[in-house]
Amino acid sequence: MPKVGMEPIRRQQLIKATMEAIDEVGLAEATVIQIARRAGVSAGIISHYFGGKNGLLEATMRQILTDLNNAVAARRKALEDDTPRAHIGAIIEGNFDRTQVTGPAAKTWLAFWASSMHKPLLQRLQYVNDRRLYANLCYQFQRVMPRRDAKNAAHGLAAMIDGLWLRGALAPEGLDAAEARYLAHTYLDQLLRHHGCHQSASTTPTY
């Protein structure tokens, strides 16, 4: 089986297996043997490619954050109009992307978020990512409202998005993505309505 150039393949396999393991049995019981078995490899290979279990967990969190950013960035690039409403709407849509919200990614995301409270490295990853999202929201809101209001709006919308994620990850029936998007977009409309930017919500399709 050993061929050359296995590294990127194995890394992807192991990261995927890590998400699946966390999704099914939780972070606490996701042992290296569990993960390795899911990936169809030996346990020792994890230390070989990631330097240890911690390295694998860090890489997995990076993957999730990258995927989330890509989902947002892709939708923002595809925008036809440059209004704040459109940009922020795209951020909402990216955050409730199907590939993010269903399957292993959702529970893994929450598990890492909780875990990052006491692991400086994960905390830094999460913090940097969160600040970028917040800065983007703030910038777009500031185009149509004063700075103070924009900050509040950004905090509120970020909390709404995270809250919907959180409850979706915990609900036995999973997240109702359609309802989550509706609630987030409606909230966004309400935030904008008070500042004279009556861009219609109908620029965002199907929710």
Residues that bind a second copy (CB under 8 A): 25-29, 107, 110-111, 113-119, 123, 126-127, 152, 155-156, 158-164, 166-167, 169-170, 172, 179-180, 182-183, 186-187, 190
Question: Any contact of residue 8 with DNA (CB under 7 A)?
Answer: no
The letter for the amino acid at 34 is: Q
In terms of CB distance, is 41 or 110 closer to a second copy? 110
* Contact code string over 49-68 relative to DNA, x by CB under 7 A: ---xxx--------------
Cα separation of 163 and 166, whole Å? 5
Cα separation of 201 and 123, whole Å? 35
The letter for the amino acid at 205 is: P
Q: At what angle are helices 104-115 and 147-170 packed, to 10 degrees? A: 120
Question: What is the CA 101 to chain-centroid distance, rounded?
Answer: 8
| 73 Cβ contact list (under 8 Å, min separation 6) | 94
By CB atoms closer than 10 A (0-12, 13-18, 19+), residue 201 is middle
Q: Which stretch binds DNA (CB under 7 A): 14-22, 29-37, 110-118, 146-154?
A: 29-37
Phi first, then psi, for residue 43 (nearest 5°) are: -70, -35
Work out how close the CB of 34 gets to DNA at its nearest, in angstroms, rounded to a whole number: 7
Q: What is the DSSP letter of 203?
A: G
Picked from DNA, a second copy, none, the partner binding residue 32 (CB below 5 to 8 A depending on kind) is: DNA
Question: Any contact of residue 24 with DNA (CB under 7 A)?
Answer: no
Single residue of 47, 66, 99, 190 touching DNA by CB under 7 A: 47
In terms of CB distance, is 3 or 148 closer to DNA? 3
Single residue of 23, 45, 62, 199 touching DNA by CB under 7 A: 45
Picked from a second copy, DNA, none, the partner binding residue 120 (CB below 5 to 8 A depending on kind) is: none
Cα separation of 117 and 62, whole Å? 16
Picked from a second copy, DNA, none, the partner binding residue 146 (CB below 5 to 8 A depending on kind) is: none
The letter for the amino acid at 151 is: K
Interface positions with DNA (CB under 7 A): 1-7, 10, 29-33, 40-48, 52-54
